Structure 1
């Protein structure tokens, strides 16, 4: 008689914002867990409003639960994919908590940072096991909460462009024009305003900054575009489709990502996976992602950044193996590898 599979609840709380980085991470995590691990574990997927059809083929192996738990629910392990979860595991259930970043240390005022730190402190204290998505995040966590060191491990996120997406040019954009690309929700940590001034040094190039720009920082970036008279060369298309994103990564001359606070950094990996050069800040986790194959801004000034882009593009053009080196680097962050590591951790905890 086959032994009973351990029950693992996966709390995908952030699927309530499916187009966010955390939302995409949560949905892909649940998909891969069910696909790769259902022979050993019984998965119960808990979340807010994610499409049930994602798990239709595994209906007998995984169940999708909306906001509320069933009465009397039990689990051998509860895995929270978000560090500030809205729900906690049932009593006497082992709890695995995934921590993505401590960006509040860099982005928030001291008073707000203290509130976030108190909330996160309560969660990591109660969790039995903790995974961090980068060594940098682990370092931040242990600086603030050194007492949790023995229960912390690092498992990098999986990042892959969707293979079934049809690549399509950005709407209203001339595909013959050379351009630089970046993507993300517009907030100050992204440093998009610096990229606008950088474009003064590249009169033959355009810049595409994709993502939700309807923020106060988005208004600042738009003011910079007007200030420098670059409205015809700097494009803010807002949220773009997966097909448009795929096309931008494959056709951009480079992806520019000067963010100063990232727990991981998906866009650089997505760009590297198709052999497009990436230019990154040296802040937080980005050097861990880009390794020796990315180019790094040494000073966060427009003139210094422009110089680095020019020298980097020149070096890239002279290295016949540069694109393959980028693809090889990106291959270290696949979902297959991430889920292999999580399944190993599940076995360590439960078997």
Structure 2
């Protein structure tokens, strides 16, 4: 089968969570010998990726991926004709939206990988009210169009699948769940001596997006630590400026930016526990990565985190401060956990499990 794959995120943001899933799809398609895979994306005029990817003749800066004019030109003016010329039989897009605009040719099938609906369900930050309104309208139209024309919609969690059906009931028969691939770290974890971290620490990943719920979490941690000094210090992977000014210099809070994979592996492995306080998650990659290192986790309930976390792991409401403080106090001593059992759970999101489910869904399409 002649496969076309939207490669914009793998080109523009290759190290992002969705960018890595883009490359996981490419590898899964290519692993089937009956497939011929071609990639479609954007790039500056002199970018070497053009030797590998079908790109429009015009150049697009990599950081311009989300700009509305660039999206429209790619999806309406370039993609339909490019897919026809390449004789693509199945085209897959993995950016929540972005399937070709216009009449779908006979014999061509579309698959949409939809990671979440937070562009529609949450209040997102924009430079002005006008931009917020424009992007709100265009995101809804683009997602609705892609959901409508897709033959199948693959989501990384049942949570996202349910949210999709709630907002687009007519799509219920198209939806399938393909959990994200969480690759094992390769090599040994880095020596973290240069980071001057405390001997005991809790870890949290992500400070930028409001849905990560980090200011609320830090307030609860501060209250717990004031009541019991045995509560470990807190290491946050993410920039401090995304948090309120009064939380950027708290004693016992350590911010780490720009970590390598080896450093991140080390941070997971040496943490006493990973905390994930998000009130909205489409999958929850850091949770599975931490479990893969045998590190216990505690997660907020009510989103996909319920699915990716072992049943016995602590859970808490993402709005009940006192309950979280009490939980932190109860977990202040080093945990006694079966680290091998946690690693075994994480393998359920590894390459073997991913390829097995991918092949089931692909064979259903065929």
Does 2:30 match 1:42? no
Q: TM-score, normalised by structure 1?
A: 0.81
Change in Cα spacing, 1:66 to 1:162, as seen in structure 2 (3 Å) is farther
Query: For 1:193, what is the secondary structure of its paired residue?
Result: helix
Confirm or deny: 8 A CA contact 2:215 2:243 kept in the other structure: no
Separation (CA, whole Å) in 1 of partners of 2:351 and 2:136: 32
Does 2:277 match 1:262? no
The count of corresponding residues between Structure 1 and Structure 2 is 322
Residue 81 of structure 1: CA displacement? Answer: 1.6
Query: For 1:159, what is the secondary structure of its paired residue?
Result: coil
Separation (CA, whole Å) in 2 of partners of 1:199 and 1:250: 21
Does 2:308 match 1:289? yes
Residue 156 of structure 1: CA displacement? Answer: 0.8
Matches within 5 A, 1:135-174: 135-164=158-187, 166-170=188-192, 172-174=194-196
Change in Cα spacing, 1:332 to 1:52, as seen in structure 2 (3 Å) is farther
Equivalent residue number for residue 97 of structure 1: 112
Separation (CA, whole Å) in 2 of partners of 1:171 and 1:108: 39
Gaps of 5+ in 1: 1-5, 54-62
Does 2:180 match 1:184? no
Matches within 5 A, 1:229-268: 230=250, 232-268=251-287
Confirm or deny: 8 A CA contact 1:213 1:236 kept in the other structure: yes
Confirm or deny: 8 A CA contact 1:211 1:238 kept in the other structure: yes
Moved more, 151-160 or 43-52: 43-52
Q: Deviations over 1:86-107 (max 9, x none)?
A: 7569733111111111123442
Does 2:154 match 1:131? yes
Query: For 1:45, what is the secondary structure of its paired residue?
Result: strand
Equivalent residue number for residue 13 of structure 1: 8
Does 2:87 match 1:74? yes
Residue 284 of structure 1: CA displacement? Answer: 1.4
Does 2:329 match 1:335? no
Separation (CA, whole Å) in 2 of partners of 1:156 and 1:262: 13
Change in Cα spacing, 1:83 to 1:106, as seen in structure 2 (3 Å) is closer
Residue 136 of structure 1: CA displacement? Answer: 0.7
Separation (CA, whole Å) in 1 of partners of 2:160 and 2:318: 23
Separation (CA, whole Å) in 1 of partners of 2:151 and 2:215: 42
Does 2:363 match 1:347? yes
RMSD over aligned CA atoms reads 2.9
Residue 129 of structure 1: CA displacement? Answer: 1.3
Q: Deviations over 1:56-99 (max 9, x none)?
A: xxxxxxx9315334881111211112222275697331111111
Residue 144 of structure 1: CA displacement? Answer: 0.9
Confirm or deny: 8 A CA contact 2:279 2:303 kept in the other structure: yes
> Which of 52, 59, 80 is the aligned partner of 1:64?
52
Gaps of 5+ in 2: 57-81, 125-131
Query: For 1:96, what is the secondary structure of its paired residue?
Result: strand
Separation (CA, whole Å) in 1 of partners of 2:137 and 2:83: 35
Q: Deviations over 1:32-66 (max 9, x none)?
A: 432x32x231122333469989xxxxxxxxx9315
> Which of 298, 306, 325 is the aligned partner of 2:317?
298
Confirm or deny: 8 A CA contact 1:212 1:239 kept in the other structure: no
Confirm or deny: 8 A CA contact 1:169 1:175 kept in the other structure: no
